[in-house]
Amino acid sequence: MASGFFALLDDIAALMDDVVVMSKVTTKKTAGILGDDLAVNAEKATGFLSSRELPVLWAITKGSFLNKLIILPIAFLLSSFLPWAVTLILVLGGVYLAYEGVEKVVEFFVPHKHEVADVSSDSIAEEDVLQVEKKKIKSAIVTDFILSVEIVIISLGSVLEQSLLIQILVVSIVAIIATIGVYGIVAMIVRMDDLGYKFIKKSNNQNKFLTGIGTFLVNALPWVIKSLSVIGTIALILVAGGIFTHNIAFLHHFMEVIPPFIKDFIVGLLVGLIAVLVIKLFKKILDLVRK
């Protein structure tokens, strides 16, 4: 009886050892997409009142966990019974990411006539703030869903030869690490200025080192936020292009002489531009029909 119990513990220990090793390998393979995920979601989580930053980020984080709860079981089922559907979902998600990224580029050069409320301003009504917040949170969760699908699929592809139990454990661990890691770093970024103020207050102009760090953090935050907007847009296009080149045979061999990241950007940009034109044309047709 005792020997059987210890044998069970030994099997569990061996299983967990395999899971840890595979999780480490899988996390390395998803490092690139996690970096893009960080840039995109950090940009999505900025631009709010200081008092609303953490509540908004927490709402997006909960949405991200819910996304993973939806994606994980579906991914395991599709991988087993309808593997082609996984590729189809990835490509459709890539079109959305490309559209969102290129739309920002188009709006930069050809701004919309209507003005969007700035939720980081104290001068607008609370109802308007909450409405814009809900819209940005929804957009962030939708984008997170697509990026989460990519993370889960890449993770799953790294352990397909393993047993179903190891697949479930490894991919679930990577998904949890991705969510906590990405949004934990985003939380630190959006609270940089508060940390800087604390350093300045603590130093009381007596400790030049703390004062210098605090001043740097306060002054750096606006530049970081502006940079995140640019980096997040580029990341959307790169991730989308990577989805297309990795899952569509023709595009995989398209322009093989140039570096992969440049090819991903070009493909994502072209697909996004087509998507933007199609959507704008569709909206114009709808407007004509309504008239």
pLDDT digits (tens, 9 = 90+) for 150-181: 788 777 766 766 777 777 888 888 888 888 88
For residue 25, the model assigns a pLDDT of: 54
For residue 269, the model assigns a pLDDT of: 94
φ/ψ of residue 45, rounded to 5? -90, 5
For residue 47, the model assigns a pLDDT of: 63
For residue 15, the model assigns a pLDDT of: 52
For residue 76, the model assigns a pLDDT of: 84
Residue 101: name the closest of 283, 284, 276, 282 by CA: 276
Using a CB cutoff of 8 Å and minimum separation of 24, what contacts does 123-129 make? 129/49, 129/52
The DSSP code for 120 is T
For residue 281, the model assigns a pLDDT of: 92
For residue 120, the model assigns a pLDDT of: 52
- What are the sequence ranges of the domains in the chain? 2-290
- On the question of pLDDT at 273 being above 90, the answer is yes
- On the question of pLDDT at 10 being above 70, the answer is no
- On the question of pLDDT at 228 being above 80, the answer is no
H/E segment holding residue 73:
helix 50-81
Residue 194: name the closest of 51, 27, 11, 4 by CA: 51
Q: Each residue of 110-123: pLDDT tens digit?
A: 776 544 445 555 55
Residue 72: name the closest of 15, 149, 18 by CA: 149
Name the residue with tokens 């139990």. 165
| Cα–Cα dist 165/173, whole Å | 12
H/E segment holding residue 122:
none
Mean pLDDT over 238-255 rounds to 80
Length of the chain counted residue by residue: 291
> Among residues of the chain, what percentage have pLDDT more than 70?
74
| Cα–Cα dist 170/155, whole Å | 8
Per-residue pLDDT band at 271 (split at 50, 70, 90): very high
- On the question of pLDDT at 248 being above 80, the answer is yes
| Residue 267 buriedness (CB in 10 A; 0-12 / 13-18 / 19+) | buried
Q: Each residue of 173-210: pLDDT tens digit?
A: 888 888 888 888 888 877 787 788 888 887 777 777 87
Q: How far is residue 24 from each of residues 84, 180, 232, measured CA to CA in Å?
A: 27, 16, 26
Average pLDDT for the chain? 76
The better pLDDT of the pair 225, 247 is held by: 247
| Cα–Cα dist 209/239, whole Å | 40
41-50, 79-88, 118-127 — which is least confidently predicted? 118-127
- On the question of pLDDT at 62 being above 80, the answer is yes
Q: How far is residue 237 from each of residues 82, 99, 112, measured CA to CA in Å?
A: 27, 8, 21
